[in-house]
């Protein structure tokens, strides 16, 4: 098992109403080296977040006595830097779009691969430059998204894209793009690549038609960014301070 001691010295809060499942999660996170707290609902979990130093939270959604959505909202309101990984399913009351927009750092659906869940928590605890700046190869992706704008700022102002803490929304309609595909993106102006913002990400959701006042587009989670791109991104995020991990649409968050 590759994740032994991966979360050494980290404190993780596990929230699930199912005793059996909570026990499994606790066991695995302990095995990964984390100090573990647990709660059976969102309300109790938030009490723990308030009273203890918690590095990351893993939470179910449907729970009697305070749902995961309540916990997500509370944490992102009071402790926006604390990563939270949500266990949602296709039947959840919360859509993927909404979960990322509310600020969830990663989403998993039950039953999930526990090693991947621990990897995700591990990744979410890393600083951005360690997490995002990796060996970046321009063409190593399934799909190319070109953002026509002279700067990131202009792209945001013209509502071509909106930025979140860990990803972005890009307005437009793309054929043959799938959820989970690796996507390369770059700013383009006069048919030239602007190196200030380019990278690779994963398509997390697709809105094909306009919905509830939101324009069509895709939600991309950043995975690899050039050093220069990360710098320009960080500069803008300092000003924007978005709560969303991936914003829902052009109205931002």
Partner 1 sequence: MSHLKPFKVDIKGKNTVVVLILAAVLFASYFVWSTINEYESLTSLQKKYLKIIELKGIIDQYDEVLTMSARMAAATGELKWELRYRKVEPLLDQAIKESISLQPQGAQMADSTDAANIKLVEMENQAFKLIGANRLSEAMDVLSSPDYEKYKLIYSTGMKDLSHNIYETIENDLSKIQSNAAKSKFLMLMSFLFLAITSVYFLKKLTQSNQNIISLNASLEGKVQEQAQILVQASKMRALGEMSAGIAHEINNPVGIIQGKTQQLKRLLQSEMWTPKKGLEELDKIFYQTDRIAKIVRGLRFFSRCNEKDSPIPVEIQTIIADVVELCGQKFKINNVTLEVNIRSDLTVQGQVVQLGQVILNLLNNSFDAVANLSEKWVRVSAEPIGHRARITVTDSGQGIPAELIDKIMQPFFTTKEVGLGTGLGLSISKGIIEEHNGIFWVDQKSRNTCFIIELPLYLSKKDLKVA
Q: Which residue's structure tokens are 């951005």?
A: 128
CB of 27 to partner 1, least distance (A): 6
For position 31 contacting partner 1 by CB under 8 A, the verdict is yes
Nearer to partner 1, 7 or 156 (CB): 7
Decide: 173 and 216 in contact? Cβ < 8 Å: yes
For position 210 contacting partner 1 by CB under 8 A, the verdict is no
Q: For residue 55, what is the DSSP state?
A: S
For position 64 contacting partner 1 by CB under 8 A, the verdict is yes
Helix (H, G, I), strand (E, B) or coil at 59: strand
For position 143 contacting partner 1 by CB under 8 A, the verdict is no
What is the distance between the alpha carbons of residues 140 and 151, in angstroms, rounded to a whole number?
Answer: 24
For position 212 contacting partner 1 by CB under 8 A, the verdict is no
For position 92 contacting partner 1 by CB under 8 A, the verdict is yes
Decide: 12 and 58 in contact? Cβ < 8 Å: yes
CB of 2 to partner 1, least distance (A): 12
Neighbour count for residue 132 (Cβ, 10 Å)? 24
CB of 242 to partner 1, least distance (A): 30
For position 111 contacting partner 1 by CB under 8 A, the verdict is yes
Neighbour count for residue 89 (Cβ, 10 Å)? 15
Contact footprint for partner 1 (CB under 8 A): 1, 18, 20-21, 23-25, 27-28, 31, 62-65, 89-93, 109-112, 114
């Amino acid at each position: 098992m590759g994740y032994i001691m991966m979360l050494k010295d980290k404190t993780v809060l596990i929230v699930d109403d199912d005793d059996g499942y909570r026990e499994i999660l606790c066991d695995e996170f302990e095995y990964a080296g984390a100090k573990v707290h647990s709660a059976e609902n969102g309300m109790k979990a938030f009490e723990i977040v308030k009273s203890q130093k918690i590095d990351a939270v893993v939470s179910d959604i449907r729970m009697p006595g305070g749902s995961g959505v309540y916990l997500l909202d509370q944490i992102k309101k009071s402790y926006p830097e604390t990563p939270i990984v949500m266990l949602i399913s296709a039947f959840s009351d919360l859509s993927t779009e909404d979960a990322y927009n509310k600020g969830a750092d990663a989403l998993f659906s039950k039953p999930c691969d526990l090693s991947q869940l621990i990897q995700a928590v591990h990744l979410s605890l890393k600083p951005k430059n360690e997490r995002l700046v990796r060996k970046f190869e321009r063409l190593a992706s399934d799909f190319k998204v070109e953002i026509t704008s002279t700067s990131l700022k202009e792209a945001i102002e013209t509502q071509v894209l909106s930025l979140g803490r860990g990803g972005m929304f890009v307005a437009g309609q793309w054929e043959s793009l799938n959820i989970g595909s690796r996507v390369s993106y770059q700013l383009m102006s006069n048919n030239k690549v602007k190196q200030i913002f380019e990278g690779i990400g994963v398509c997390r959701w697709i809105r094909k038609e306009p919905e509830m006042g939101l324009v069509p587009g895709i939600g991309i989670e950043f995975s690899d960014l050039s050093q220069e791109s990360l710098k320009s991104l960080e500069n803008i995020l300092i000003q924007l301070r978005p709560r969303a991990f991936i914003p829902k649409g052009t109205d931002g968050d």
